Amino acid sequence: MIKREIENLNSYDQTKLVCDNNNPVWALDIPFATSYGLFENFLVELKQYKAIQDEDLRGLTTEKYNTRIALEAILWDIVPRVASYAQVNAKAQLKKFMSVTDAKLKKMTESEITTYGGEVFLKTQEVLDDLLIYGVTQLLLDDLESKNNAWLAIKGRPQEAYDAQKNAGEAIDVLFKKIDDVLINRLDLNALVFTAEHPDFVAAYQESRVIEHLPTTTLAIIGKVVDAVTQAPLYRAKIVLLETEEERKSSIKGGFRYQNSPEGVLQLEVSLPTYLTQTVIVEKLPGITSKVVVQMTKG
């Protein structure tokens, strides 16, 4: 969440605390109770989406990378052995299919290596009885099946999680508007009914509705993260200022910013699931806000 959203959320929490602590005052007042119920439901939903937005995808990305490496390794263990068998036994089509280099395996797309792994299993299973002298056993083939299934399970999850975070960001924008509408047009007015009999509650409620602004500092770096091909903004990219190890996440419009960064030549490391990590050089001059657009390429 950006600074303004955090300030608003803090205000909402204070309003909820005041209302909950004064429940006997308003519990039987239908207009107030109805408005507060809407506010509370929207706030719960907002925090649920915030939890999704705050999830760290680094572990998921690492798991996907390691699973892909394990699949490549088992394929590279089996494929040359079957290719040797095919060469000796004049099975030209099988030899051609198994004549894949380690470099070609690494260049396969997610879909290509998924399909290839499944076909290697099936074609090897057909001639498994003849492959014992080449070191290919049922145990090795079962290991391939296990690693291919693990890859099938993980390969789409970082993108799905990224999409979920992007959707959560859009939902959060809508919920902020809904909550403000309930507060400004309903609950703030409903609270005034208690002015005469419960002035302390009304005073505390009104105080909770005052947004306390977080400290501001001078902007030093303003940036945007976009897809190199489509130029579409990329949401929740991780940006690390290597000199200070400060971390940011790009907004739904791709934006990010740093306050009070050091001067000189700085490095920003930018990463996002399904994209290649980039290190971008930014020159920060005294008294000048530096601007940068980071072009990310699909991995």
What pLDDT was estimated at residue 262? 83
Tens-place pLDDT, residues 90-128: 999 999 999 999 899 999 999 999 999 999 999 999 999
- The residues, any chain, with a CB within 8 Å of residue 225's CB and separated by 6 or more, are 233, 234, 237, 239, 250, 254, 256, 270, 272, 293, 294, 296
Q: Are 19 and 36 in contact (CB under 8 A)?
A: yes
Identify residue 32 by its one-letter amino acid code: F
Backbone torsion region of residue 109, taken as left when φ is above 0, otherwise alpha when ψ lies between -120 and 50, otherwise beta:
beta
**DSSP state string for the chain:** --HHHHHHHHHHHHHHHHHHHTHHHHTT-HHHHHHHHHHHHHHHHHHHHHHHHT---HHHHHHHHHHHHHHHHHHHHHHHHHHHHHHHTT-HHHHHHH---HHHHHHS-HHHHHHHHHHHHHHHHHTGGG-GGGT--HHHHHHHHHHHHHHHHHTTHHHHHHHHHHHHHHHHHHHHHHHHHHIIIIIHHHHGGGTTT-HHHHHHHHHHTSPPPPP---EEEEEEEEETTT--B-TT-EEEETTTTEEEE--TTSEEEEESPPSEEEEEEEE-TTB--EEEEEEE-TT--EEEEEEE-B-
Torsion of CA 43, 46, 48, 49, to 10 degrees: 180
Cα–Cα distance measured from residue 159 to residue 57, given in angstroms and rounded to the nearest whole number: 10
- The residues, any chain, with a CB within 8 Å of residue 33's CB and separated by 6 or more, are 26, 27
CA-based torsion, 139, 141, 145, 148: positive or negative: positive
Tens-place pLDDT, residues 54-95: 887 778 888 999 999 999 999 999 999 999 999 999 999 999
By CB atoms closer than 10 A (0-12, 13-18, 19+), residue 271 is: middle
What pLDDT was estimated at residue 13? 95
Which domains occur in the chain, in start order? 1-214 (no CATH), 219-296 (2.60.40.1120)
Neighbours of 261 (CB within 10 A): 21
Cα–Cα distance measured from residue 16 to residue 39, given in angstroms and rounded to the nearest whole number: 9
Q: Tens digit of pLDDT per residue, the chain (299 long)?
A: 677 888 899 999 999 999 999 999 999 999 999 999 999 999 999 999 999 988 877 788 889 999 999 999 999 999 999 999 999 999 999 999 999 998 999 999 999 999 999 999 999 999 999 999 999 999 999 999 999 999 999 999 988 988 898 899 899 999 999 999 999 999 999 999 999 999 999 999 999 999 887 765 566 899 999 999 999 999 999 999 998 889 999 998 899 999 878 888 899 999 999 899 999 999 887 767 888 999 999 87
Share of the chain above pLDDT 70, in %: 97
- In 3D space, the residue among 15, 63, 5 whose CA is nearest the CA of residue 187 turns out to be 15
Structure tokens at 270: 């930018």
Cα–Cα distance measured from residue 38 to residue 40, given in angstroms and rounded to the nearest whole number: 5
